[in-house]
Amino acid sequence: MALTAGPADDICSARGCEADARWAVVWSNPALPTRREKTWLACDEHRDYLHSYLAYRSFPVRDVPFEDVRASESH
């Protein structure tokens, strides 16, 4: 499963999914010196899959309710 859409669209990042985002899957690649966080969006159905995909690769990953992300962007 590849990624499509995402934060700019407020829909799930899983390929082919057009569901509204309910979760932000926030992650970073520890091999990169910048440690910049990236965000994938997930619906309830794909949240575990996207989280597991990153965790399997030993990337630091956390799930945040999408409502919290949107609220922090508006401040």
For the stretch 29-74, pLDDT in tens is: 999 998 799 999 999 999 999 999 999 999 999 999 998 887 777 6
- Which pLDDT belongs to residue 71? 72
What's the pLDDT at 68? 87
State the total domains in the chain. 1
Residue 3 lies in a domain: yes
Element (DSSP H or E) covering residue 71? helix 66-73
Asked, for residue 4, whether it belongs to a domain, the answer is yes
Is residue 20 within 8 Å of residue 50, measured between CB atoms? no
31 lies in some domain: yes
Residue 32 belongs to what domain range? 1-67
In a domain, 34, yes or no: yes
Kindly state whether residue 74 falls inside one of the protein's structural domains.
no
Q: Report yes or no on 72 lying in a domain.
A: no
Among 4-8, 13-17, 26-30, whose mean pLDDT is lowest? 4-8
Identify whether 75 is part of a domain.
no
Label residue 5 left, alpha or beta by phi (over 0 means left) and psi (-120 to 50 means alpha): left
